């Protein structure tokens, strides 16, 4: 019973502020709609006036309402475009992360496969093994370091495959050939996804620095700074 009450309390603490903010937002939007509605009625009343002065005031009121609505719509559209660009960068990097993990798993199997054949050139295997170990310790948000280690892994794999050419028995091993092909395909896919990521980063940076989208993007300064600092993906 106590555990259930504690769970309910944690749920309230976790989602309470979000629900509160949503309720306040709905209330403020409702008040704004009411103000615009009565302002429109007031402007319409002034337009029907016989006095030229009040007619001008009515035109000004309607002009202000139209101006406010246009700004609100423009703001919404621009923010959605910026948010979509943020989402595209995040999604494209997530795709790269998936390929990284697949390659990491396959390299582990590759090392097990070649270790029995390549005994005179253990330096290449030791280098890849060390890079694999470093990879597992990289912080999740350290994109630049991940890119650097990834490029070193790619270069080491090229060296390993070059060494494999000297060992006919290894080249005839079906397991090795399958892993080599799979890793090569992942490298090709990684290069392709890297181009998509770079394209999305460049598009986002243009929106962050170009008028008028930069006005809405700069509201979230911390998020803006984070995405501005995203490095471009480079394949060695």
Q: How far apart are CA 15 and CA 31, in angstroms?
A: 25
Q: How far apart are CA 161 and CA 181, in angstroms?
A: 11
Res 1: pLDDT = 43
Distances (CA, A) of 207 to 81, 160, 172, 211, 217: 9, 43, 52, 8, 8
Res 2: pLDDT = 43
Res 15: pLDDT = 59
Res 182: pLDDT = 93
Count how many residues are written for the chain: 236
Tokens at residue 86, please? 């943020």
| Domain residue ranges of the chain, discontinuous segments joined by + | 81-228
Hunting for tokens 């060296």 — which residue is that? Answer: 159
- Residues 203 and 227 sit within 8 Å (Cβ to Cβ): no
Rounded average pLDDT per 10-residue block, the chain, 236 residues: 48 59 70 68 65 69 74 82 86 91 91 79 83 88 86 89 85 87 92 90 83 75 67 62
Res 234: pLDDT = 62
Res 204: pLDDT = 85
Q: Which of 82, 89, 95 is nearest to 232 (CA)?
A: 89
Res 76: pLDDT = 81
């Amino acid at each position: 019973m106590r555990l259930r009450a504690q769970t309910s309390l944690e749920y309230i603490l976790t989602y309470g502020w979000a629900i509160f903010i949503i309720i306040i937002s709905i209330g403020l939007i409702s008040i704004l709609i009411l103000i615009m509605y009565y302002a429109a009625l007031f402007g319409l009343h002034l337009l029907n006036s016989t006095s030229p002065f009040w007619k001008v005031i009515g035109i000004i009121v309607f002009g202000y309402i139209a101006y406010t609505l246009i700004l609100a719509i423009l703001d919404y559209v621009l923010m959605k475009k910026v948010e979509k660009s943020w989402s595209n960068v995040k999604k494209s990097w997530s795709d790269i992360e998936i390929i990284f993990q697949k390659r990491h798993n396959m390299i582990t199997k590759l090392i097990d496969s070649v270790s029995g054949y390549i005994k005179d050139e253990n330096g290449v295997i030791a280098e890849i093994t060390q890079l694999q170990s470093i990879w597992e310790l990289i912080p999740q948000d350290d994109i630049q370091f991940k890119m650097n280690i990834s490029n070193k892994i790619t270069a080491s794999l090229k060296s390993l495959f070059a060494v494999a050419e000297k060992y006919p028995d290894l080249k005839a091993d079906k397991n090795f050939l399958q892993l080599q092909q799979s890793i090569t395909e992942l490298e090709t896919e990684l290069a392709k996804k890297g181009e998509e990521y770079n394209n999305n980063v460049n598009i986002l940076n243009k929106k962050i620095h170009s008028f008028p989208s930069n006005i809405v993007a700069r509201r979230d300064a911390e998020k803006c700074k984070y995405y501005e600092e995203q490095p471009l993906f480079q394949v060695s």
